[in-house]
Amino acid sequence: MSPAPLGNRDLMRAHNRSIILNAIKSHGDISRAEIARLTGLSPATVSAITAELIAENLVLEHAEGDSSGGRPPILLRLNPSGGFVVGIKVTEQHLIGALTDLTAAVITKQVFDLPNHTLEDVLEGIINIVTRLTHIGGVRKKQLLGVG
């Protein structure tokens, strides 16, 4: 039996970012210490990654929490306008697209007819719906984090 592969540092960091983002999304206003406690990540790892997320405008320092004897913790939350996502549903007759912010609030929604079912027509429709949704929502290309 071969030994388990060693972890790739970049992959581990990306995984830890995902864990931290999910903790912030799931728990709303949350301190770094609480993220460390919930996730099992070290406080240093949480601090370093949340600093990156704040610099990238994906997370905001929102408010001071209640102190339990020391300095009050700074609570973090997702920045709703820190990025946007387009979701597309493909049906036989239509493409249905929605532009959402990071909290999954729908910014705008569009339905496009899909008269032809060729791959080229579907791909062209997807490009058109993404372009239209981002234009209507006032979202720049670099703000669009994903399409699914």
Q: Which of 20, 48, 25 lies closest to 36 in space, CA to CA?
A: 20
Q: What is the pTM of this model?
A: 0.76
Residue carrying structure tokens 């027509």: 121
pLDDT of residue 5: 55
Cα(41)–Cα(28) distance, rounded to whole angstroms? 18
pLDDT of residue 81: 92
Question: What is the end-to-end Cα distance of the chain in Å, rounded?
Answer: 38
Reading the chain (148 residues) residue by residue, the pLDDT tens digits are 555 555 688 889 999 999 999 999 999 899 999 999 999 999 999 999 999 999 999 999 987 777 676 788 899 999 999 999 999 999 989 999 999 999 899 999 999 988 888 889 899 999 999 999 999 999 998 999 999 9
Concatenate the DSSP letters of all residues of 42-72 into one string: -HHHHHHHHHHHHHTTSEEEEEE---SSSSP
pLDDT of residue 1: 54
Q: Which two tokens stand for residue 98?
A: 């929605």
Residue 94 bridge partners (DSSP): 113
* Cβ atoms within 10 Å of 105's Cβ, excluding its own: 9
pLDDT of residue 3: 59
Phi, psi of 34 (to 5 degrees): -70, -35
Q: Which two tokens stand for residue 105?
A: 């609030």
pLDDT of residue 2: 56
